[in-house]
Amino acid sequence: MSGRNFLFVPGPTNVPDRILRAMHRAQEDHRSSAFPALAKGILADLPKIFGTAKGQAFVLPASGTAMWEASIVNALSPGDRVLAVRNGQFSHLFIDAAQRLGMQVEIIEEPWGGAVQPDRIRDALKADKAGAFKAVLVVHNETATGVTSDIAAVRAAIDGAGHGALLMVDGVSSVASLEFKLDEWGVDFAIAGSQKGFMMPAGLGILCVSPKGLATFAGSKSNRAFFDLRDHVTHNATGYFPYTPALSGLYGLRESLDMLLAEGMPNVAARHKRLGEGVRRAVAAWGLKNCCTDPCRVSDTVTAIVVPESGDAEKVRDVGFRKYNLALGAGLGPLKGKVFRIGHLGDLNELMLLGALAGTEMTLIDTGIQITRGAGVAAAQAWYQGSAK
């Protein structure tokens, strides 16, 4: 099919030409005396994206999923009790990782489409008189349902309970796109990957750890080798890595950081909010429902759209892909066939989103879902025009 694929899944996201050019380079000696200039610059700038002046960043040739494991095995020991909230597919998988690694996980269940409820965390920690819970696990932006939870309120709940548990936050689809304040929110482990807000191909696991989190490395009794962050602390201090890094990825990350910091993180978050609102207005104009049940907790990076009971979200995705070269996100877990997702994060603008919305409208009509042609596009256009500076 001629023309470009319209990639509007919530990750991987579109890779800017600048980053592609930065990554397209010959390999080099990662142990040369020149290499630390690249590594030290990246490791110094990454904490700015996470909103911290105190935390330490780590970059591994891995993925955001791998950073779940890195966080757990460096901070916790087999048999440790942790408290976790399950409100979607990625929180479910975060919990699964902790269980497989030998942790005892107490789960707070929330409806898929609902946000983390800080009061339930506070109550569970207050009941833990012995301080047995070593960590609280939450997902900031649940990619499967398009729900953004209030991490500042989660920290307030932990503090309100007078509990010393670590706060581990999956920020894979929020960091580098939404507001994230590791220091202010008291996050101890913030987990990210290269393929979403960082606008890169998948392949880098990115982690930022608070001083409190760093202090746990020595006490963990979990087995670890590749994910032993103590080795990174030692080698990163001199601008190197404990094993061969993903060189092309590091050059892409350097360019990504330059782009994000030039725009300014408050402006990045504001841009995503504005673009996401246009998508939400389109969904409302179509007469369809947002999977997120709380209008105050809708995600600015991904919208999960519920199809009517007579519809098939997988058919919508397949027709859009095969007929219009449009890639939409799948419904995951129990939402498969019921929900499709529009990713609106990373390197994108109004016209890109309007093209995706136009293709989605044609696909919905083609698959028998009754909407008014042009209604969603018009609603988004009106918002983008009216809110433009």
pLDDT tens digits for range 187-212: 999 999 999 999 999 999 999 999 99
CA distances from 22 to 18, 33, 42, 249, 363 (A): 6, 21, 14, 9, 36
CA distances from 204 to 80, 253, 288 (A): 28, 9, 36
| Number of CB atoms found within 10 A of residue 388's CB | 8
Burial level of 162, CB count in 10 A (0-12/13-18/19+)? exposed
Query: Has residue 138 got a pLDDT over 90?
Result: yes
Token couple for 328: 């939409």
* pLDDT number for residue 389: 79
What integer is the mean pLDDT of 177-196?
A: 98
For the chain, what is the mean pLDDT?
Answer: 97
Domains of the chain: 6-12+265-387 (3.90.1150.10), 17-262 (3.40.640.10)
pLDDT tens digits for range 96-130: 999 999 999 999 999 999 999 999 999 999 999 99
pTM: 0.97
% residues pLDDT > 70 (the chain): 100
The owner of tokens 């947002």 is: 290
* pLDDT number for residue 2: 83
Nearest to 67 by CA among 176, 207, 187: 207
Largest CA-CA distance found in the chain, in angstroms, rounded = 63
**Residue type, position 276, single letter:** G
pLDDT tens digits for range 288-320: 999 999 999 999 999 999 999 999 999 999 999
Half-sphere exposure of 341 (CA within 13 A, CB side): 28
